[in-house]
Structure 1
Amino acid sequence: MTSYYGRAVRGDPKKPYSDTNEMSTAIWASYLHAISTDEEPRHHFCPASADSWCFFRRADFNPDEPRRKHSQKPGYFSKIPKKNRIHITKVYTDLTSRDLLSKCLKGRTQNANESLHSKVWQKVAKHKFAGKCRVNYTLQMVTLEHNIGFHDSYFLGHLGFGMSPSKSSNLVILDKECDRSFRRSSTGTTGQQKRKRKEGKDESAYGAGVF
């Protein structure tokens, strides 16, 4: 289910979602598809086309294609007891909130706080004990570096010790590298993804007959 949710959030790179409603529909389609049965099919959110990833809707456009039973398809979760399915449905309701999905448009599923956290763990390793004072000091320094840059937050410089030309140059370089990294991540695509898209080699999030 986690894999299906992730695919639905990322969608098709060739046809990005225009709003959260489309993304929400895709997420619910994957869940309802997975819990459908022959007696109770729930494919109303699945794409309706001859090349749909949903075997049930695809059969509507291909009369010659035999419609398989749900139990014969992979990703079959209808055996989950209904009392447990209620809890899963509640989780999906939370995961399809408009506030959450709006942050995932254009494939931006990365947690924005992870960048700050990684800088903290570089200075205070998770697997080693550190006292409260050291952790607080590190958090304050990393927050300054994260928000105003390495050069302007240089601690010894603010204490009046000055800064050598080489040190100043190195800190400026670090700030520029951070800026470039942020711009690359904010585009939502990497150079490799752009090349694949240009060549038309992007793989669809779903494949016909595989789900």
Structure 2
Amino acid sequence: MEVDAVIEMFQRSNSLHNLKYANYVGDGDSKTFKGIMDSEPYADFTVMKKECIDHVQKRMGTRLRNLKKNTKGLGGKGKLTGKLIDELSIYYGLAIRRNHDSVEKMRNEIYATLFHKISTDEKPQHEKCPSGENSWCSWQKAQAIGNVDYKHKPPLSTSVFEAILPIYKELSSDDLLTRCIGGYTQNSNESFNSTVWSMAPKSTSSGKHVLDTAIYIAVGIYNDGLSSVMRLMQNLGMKIGTNCYNFCVETDERRIKYSERSLTNAAKEARLLLKSSRKEEEEASINLDGQMYGAGIAD
């Protein structure tokens, strides 16, 4: 259904809107893009595949977790822990996001994050790390401000480095990083979808009329907040009472307040802890049942 819907969108874009979609932003599932290519929606124009940066980042986590699961002795204290996997995945994603205009810049910073992790006081390996006081690299920052007493944290073990290096080579290939040029993401789509499914859950069968109505309401809520529902009620001839008005206004204010609070450092740290805990539970479930879905599985 998803493949057919996307193909239809591409095929009618020229006739409806007099435009051609240059890029398809996907999450690693090659079926949809293959369907677009096979349908040839534009006779004289080739659609390019672009990767969602968030899903590319997830690939790193997926590959590292699979490596840990399938390699005896790689996990445990001081080795490839769940926390370290999360850190490496985040650093990998940031390297792509911050340098999405150049394949070489992306690759350089990806390897900078890896060699940063194996650096020691005796052998610092920060040549690829950005220099200056504003660098994310603490060693480069210390060099810039003249801190000669800098001490490195315990480095990544040699066995872990040698085990994960092939994954870094694979996930920094020209082919993959070229598809990351532009720094595209599906976040806005995912956010909109969650608004739709909150009113028409996937667990409950909904007809086209119900789904269309949910989409129209979701568009209003996504763009203008819950207050947009009052305009819908007004168009339907429904009376808007004081309680309804107060509820919509207070809900929108609460949503904005929550969004602002979620940007604080404390909230970000709490999310990281929760994310790490959730991934440990997912990993235990995968070990029990096997992985059914994940970023890059279709590659």
Q: Shorter chain as normaliser: what TM range?
A: 0.5 to 0.7
Q: Which residue number corresponds to residue 214 of structure 2?
A: 138
Alpha-carbon shift at residue 86 of structure 1 (Å):
5.6
Q: Does structure 2 conserve the Cα–Cα contact (< 8 Å) formed by 1:145 and 1:153?
A: yes
- 1:178 equivalent among 248, 251, 255: 255
> What is the rounded CA distance, in whole Å, between the counterparts of 2:171 and 2:267 in structure 1?
39
> What is the rounded CA distance, in whole Å, between the counterparts of 1:192 and 1:184 in structure 2?
7
Q: Does structure 2 conserve the Cα–Cα contact (< 8 Å) formed by 1:123 and 1:138?
A: yes
Residues 74/137 of structure 1: CA separation in 2 closer, same or farther (3 Å cut):
same
> What is the rounded CA distance, in whole Å, between the counterparts of 1:152 and 1:194 in structure 2?
33
Alpha-carbon shift at residue 137 of structure 1 (Å):
1.1
Alpha-carbon shift at residue 194 of structure 1 (Å):
8.1
Equivalent residue of 2:227, what SS?
coil
Q: Which residue number corresponds to residue 266 of structure 2?
A: 191
Q: Which residue number corresponds to residue 91 of structure 2?
A: 7
Residues 93/43 of structure 1: CA separation in 2 closer, same or farther (3 Å cut):
farther
1:161 and 2:238 are equivalent in the alignment: yes
Return the letter of the residue paired with 1:94: R
What's the TM-score, normalizing by structure 1?
0.53
> What is the rounded CA distance, in whole Å, between the counterparts of 2:92 and 2:254 in structure 1?
33
1:26 and 2:109 are equivalent in the alignment: yes
Residue deviations 1:106-148 (CA, integer Å, cap 9, x gap): xxxx924433222211111122222122111100111112212
What's the TM-score, normalizing by structure 2?
0.40
Residues 93/53 of structure 1: CA separation in 2 closer, same or farther (3 Å cut):
farther
Q: Which residue number corresponds to residue 202 of structure 1?
A: none
> What is the rounded CA distance, in whole Å, between the counterparts of 1:151 and 1:32 in structure 2?
51
Q: Does structure 1 conserve the Cα–Cα contact (< 8 Å) formed by 2:91 and 2:113?
A: no
Residues 5/119 of structure 1: CA separation in 2 closer, same or farther (3 Å cut):
same
Alpha-carbon shift at residue 30 of structure 1 (Å):
4.2
Residues 54/21 of structure 1: CA separation in 2 closer, same or farther (3 Å cut):
farther
Q: Does structure 1 conserve the Cα–Cα contact (< 8 Å) formed by 2:200 and 2:211?
A: yes
Q: Does structure 2 conserve the Cα–Cα contact (< 8 Å) formed by 1:116 and 1:142?
A: yes
Residues 45/124 of structure 1: CA separation in 2 closer, same or farther (3 Å cut):
same
* TM alignment of 1:107-146, pairs within 5 A: 111-146=187-222
1:94 and 2:175 are equivalent in the alignment: no
> What is the rounded CA distance, in whole Å, between the counterparts of 1:87 and 1:31 in structure 2?
13
Q: Does structure 2 conserve the Cα–Cα contact (< 8 Å) formed by 1:149 and 1:175?
A: yes
Alpha-carbon shift at residue 161 of structure 1 (Å):
1.7
Runs (5+) with no aligned partner, structure 2: 1-59, 62-84, 118-124, 130-136, 141-149, 271-299
Larger helix proportion, structure 1 or 2?
A: 2
Equivalent residue of 2:206, what SS?
coil
- Higher normalized contact order (CA 8 Å, seq sep 6+, divided by chain length): 1
Alpha-carbon shift at residue 7 of structure 1 (Å):
2.9
Equivalent residue of 2:229, what SS?
coil
Residue deviations 1:175-200 (CA, integer Å, cap 9, x gap): 11122233334x4x3435589xxxxx
Residues 86/132 of structure 1: CA separation in 2 closer, same or farther (3 Å cut):
same
Equivalent residue of 1:45, what SS?
coil
